Amino acid sequence: MIKIYVAKHSGFCFGVKRAMHIIDDVSKSGKSKPIYTLGPIIHNPQTVDKLKKKGISPLDNLDNLRSGTVILRTHGVEKNLLKELKSKRVDVIDATCPFVSRAQDYVRTLHENGYKVIIVGERNHPEVLALKSQIDDAIILESLKDIVKIKNIETQRVGIVSQTTQSIENFKAMVNLVMDYFKEVLVINTICNATSQRQESAIALSRKVDLMLIVGGKNSGNTMRLYTLCKRIAKSTYHIETEKEIKKSMLKNVKSVGIAAGASTPDWIVKNVKTFIKKIYKEELKND
């Protein structure tokens, strides 16, 4: 019988669970309709589609917004966009992850205390864009090649924060590099505990199984990092959004499967993946 293991820390994190509870409460309340989320509430297309069926749609922009309720996504919202939203006659509900809000606080505090702020993260990710918008002159470092951005900065003091879903490996590498250029470097590790736990659990599991499946949105940064980390250890590692992407060829000669899910992946998708694998295995047994 094929063995299927799910990483100890997997699926919805605290911030995502909180946001989904907020959405559920708003949908049942007397808040003005229609109900929107500002951008996708989380980076999981299947969850976003389910919300659409309930009448809760993501807004790409505020151009045609005239009424209703707008829920801020877990990643946070750019400062100017939030100001524009609050100027409209709509109800605004904040579902920003508290860990993201805390990182925004650190950016502002560092700036107020005279530090040049460096953010380690994906330059086009909504969380990073929201972090950067808190002040006028933050610098984003996504990879080691971005180091050219700091070579000519005329300051002795820098403060570094991280996108909350970054890998600790990349954050440490960037911090080490930055320290070569400045006399005073204040590092604040804003990677949330859930991210670290998921990465550690996924890595540990990938060492023990024949096949590793990383389940989550293809647009999810934290899920992509799980895939990257596990792929280095287990060559048979695949990133899938749903069970529909599993091919029989993936399971050939496989006796054990590990599953790790990103922080925005709902439990029902993981359950579907497990059920589908068992179904394929039973069908193969019948055909033997």
Which pLDDT band, with edges at 50, 70 and 90, does 52 fall under?
Answer: very high
CATH 3.40.30.10 corresponds to the domain 3-11+194-287: no
Q: What is the pLDDT of residue 79?
A: 95
Helix (H) / strand (E) element for 211: namely: strand 211-215
Residue 30 is predicted with a pLDDT of: 78
Question: Which element (helix H / strand E) includes 92?
Answer: strand 91-94
207, 245, 277 from 163: Cα distances, Å = 27, 29, 34
Q: What is the pLDDT of residues 203-212, one digit of tens each?
A: 999 999 999 9
What is the per-residue pLDDT for 264?
96
* Average pLDDT score over residue span 74-93: 94
Angstrom distance (rounded) from CA 66 to CA 116: 39
Task: List, in sequence order, every residue forming a beta bridge with 226; answer none if it has no partner.
Answer: none
Active-site residue among 127, 142, 241, 243?
A: 127
pLDDT band at residue 288 using 50, 70 and 90 as cut-offs: low
Under 8 Å between Cβ of 93 and 83: no
CATH architecture of 14-97: 3-Layer(aba) Sandwich (3.40)
Give me the pLDDT at residue 153, please.
86
Mean pLDDT on 78-93: 93
The mean pLDDT value for 35-50 works out to: 95
Burial track 82-106 (b if 16+ CB lie within 10 A, e otherwise): beebeeeebeebebbbebbeebbeb
* Spatial separation of the C-alpha atoms in residues 284 and 191, rounded to whole Å: 43
Which tens digit of pLDDT belongs to each residue from 106-158? 999 999 999 999 999 999 999 999 999 999 999 999 998 998 889 888 888 99
Q: Which residues lie closer than 8 Å to 46 by C-beta, 6 or more apart? A: 217, 241, 242, 266, 269
Does pTM top 0.75 for this prediction?
Answer: yes
The pLDDT of residue 285:
56
Q: Has residue 220 got a pLDDT over 80?
A: yes
Separation between Cα atoms, residue 94 and residue 92, nearest integer Å: 7
Q: Per-domain residue ranges for the chain? A: 3-11+194-287, 14-97, 99-191
Query: What one-character DSSP code corresponds to residue 210?
Result: S
* Binding site listing: 13, 43, 75, 97, 125, 164, 192, 220, 222, 264
In the chain, the percentage of residues whose pLDDT exceeds 70 is 98
Residues 6+ apart with CB under 8 A from 143: none
- The burial of 40, by beta-carbon neighbours within 10 Å (0-12 exposed, 13-18 middle, 19 or more buried), is given as buried
Q: Which residue has the tokens 């000519």?
A: 152
Q: What is the mean pLDDT of the chain?
A: 94
- List the binding residues for dimethylallyl diphosphate: 43, 75, 125, 220, 222, 264
What is residue 29's predicted lDDT score, i.e. its pLDDT? 87
Reported confidence tier of residue 96, pLDDT bands at 50, 70, 90: very high
**Residue 122 annotated among the catalytic residues of the structure:** no
pLDDT in tens, 241-276: 999 999 999 998 999 999 999 999 999 999 999 999
Mean pLDDT of 199-218: 97
The string of DSSP codes covering 3-59 is EEEE-SS-S--HHHHHHHHHHHHHHHS---SSEEEES-SSS-HHHHHHHHHTTEEEE
pLDDT, average across residues 180-196: 94
User: Tokens 């699926």 map to which residue?
Assistant: 11
Do 14-97 and 3-11+194-287 have the same topology in CATH? no
Task: Say what the pLDDT of residue 105 is.
Answer: 98
CATH class of 99-191: alpha beta
